[in-house]
Amino acid sequence: MTPDELAGLDPRRDLALIQAGVNEELVAGRSPAPLYRALAERDPVALVQVIVGPQAPIGAAAARAALEMIDLLEASMTTHGLYRRLSDLAGEASIDVLTMAASRHPLGTWLVALSARIEGPNAGMVHLHQVVGHPAFTAACWSHAEAGHRNALLAVAVNSRRPEPAAALLATGAIDEAAQAAAAILSVAPSSPVLPWLAAVWGPNLDPIIAAIAARLSDDTARAALDAWLLPATSPPLPEIEPA
């Protein structure tokens, strides 16, 4: 169905025909996006019905075309419900749906559940990487940590070199993962304030955490970084005595 053919239809009365037209485009390997755009101009409510209604098309191509209409869709229903529905329909493009959701709603607490639904054992990967550097990053780390999304927190800690994911892991008792993240960060970014963050979460009895980090350090640079953080100079160093 072309946009011109659509022009001869009544969007409300002929919804089933339009739906069939969308499916024809998909079966033919064409994107329904031009059809969606034409329908959006004539009857946005009908378009929403076509895209996310009971007879909505299933599959990645349909979902990607739907994401082009995201402004209109978001204006028509709750964001949480919209993205959940789109992800159900999207098949392999569900990651695209999640990426869109995370970029437009980085503060959405519902992203945690949506991430689990779409990403399974890697839940949080898309959302957390999307919000690195955003004011919502810390809150997102804590939300995903509370949901047990440890793989993603570990990955984003290593990739971003930021301390918040390690701190969030520690806050939820994931000591091994927090130590692993901290060790990885110190190896590549010795000046990253991961230890101050861990201490601020854990409290002053930091020895078990330090031991867990030290056990995971594999190079001298990282060990030197750990020492530098732990032993701020308490007095100027004494002059060295020449060996006899």
Partner 1 sequence: MTVEAWLLGDPGRTPFAGHFRGRAALGDAWIEVVGRIGSDNGIVDAFPVARSMTNRLTELTPRASALGAGRHALARALWQIVLEPAPPPADPSVGGDLSLLFVSGDQRGLSVGGVGLAGVWRRDAGAAWASMVPRDHPLLSSRGIPPSLPGVLALDLAPEVICAAPRPLEADLPPIHLIAPRCGVRV
Stretch that binds partner 1, among 72-80, 100-108, 177-185, 199-207 (CB under 8 A): 199-207
Q: Give the interface segment with partner 1, choosing from 48-56, 81-89, 181-189, 225-233 (CB under 8 A).
A: 225-233
Residue from 54, 135, 204, 237 that binds partner 1 (CB under 8 A)? 204
Q: Confirm or reject binding of residue 195 to partner 1 (CB under 8 A).
A: yes
**Sole binder of partner 1 in the list 63, 201, 209, 217 (CB under 8 A):** 201
Contacts of 141 (CB under 8 A, 6+ apart): 128, 153, 156, 164, 165, 167, 168
C-alpha neighbours within 13 Å on the C-beta side of residue 40: 17
Residue 4 or residue 207: which is nearer to partner 1 going by CB? 207
Taking CB under 8 A as the binding criterion, the range among 16-24, 56-64, 91-99, 203-211 that sits at the site for partner 1 is 203-211
Question: Least distance to partner 1 from the beta carbon of 177, Å?
Answer: 17
Using an 8 Å Cβ cutoff, are 44 and 76 in contact?
yes
Of the candidate spans 46-54, 60-68, 109-117, 226-234, the one that interacts with partner 1 by CB under 8 A turns out to be: 226-234
Site for partner 1 in 165-194 (CB under 8 A): 167-168, 171, 193
Specify the residue, 50 or 195, whose C-beta has the smaller distance to partner 1. 195
What is the distance, to the nearest Å, from the Cα of residue 143 to the centroid of all Cα atoms in its chain?
12
Site string for partner 1, 139-158 (x = CB under 8 A): ---x----------------
Q: What is the DSSP string of 181-241?
A: HHHHHHHH-TT-THHHHHHHHH-S--HHHHHHHHTT--SHHHHHHHHHHH---SSPPPPPP
92 binds partner 1 (CB under 8 A): no
Query: Does residue 137 belong to the site contacting partner 1 (CB under 8 A)?
Result: no
The DSSP-derived string for 9-57 is S-TTTTHHHHHHHHHHHHHTT--SHHHHHHHHHH-HHHHHHHHHSTT--
Between residues 60 and 202, which has the closer beta carbon with respect to partner 1? 202
Between helix 175-188 and helix 194-202 the angle, nearest 10°, is: 160
Q: Encoding tokens for residue 205?
A: 């009895």
Q: Crossing angle of helices 164-171/194-202, nearest 10°? A: 20
235 touches partner 1 (CB under 8 A) = yes
Binding site for partner 1 (CB under 8 A): 138, 142, 167-168, 171, 193, 195-197, 199-205, 229-236
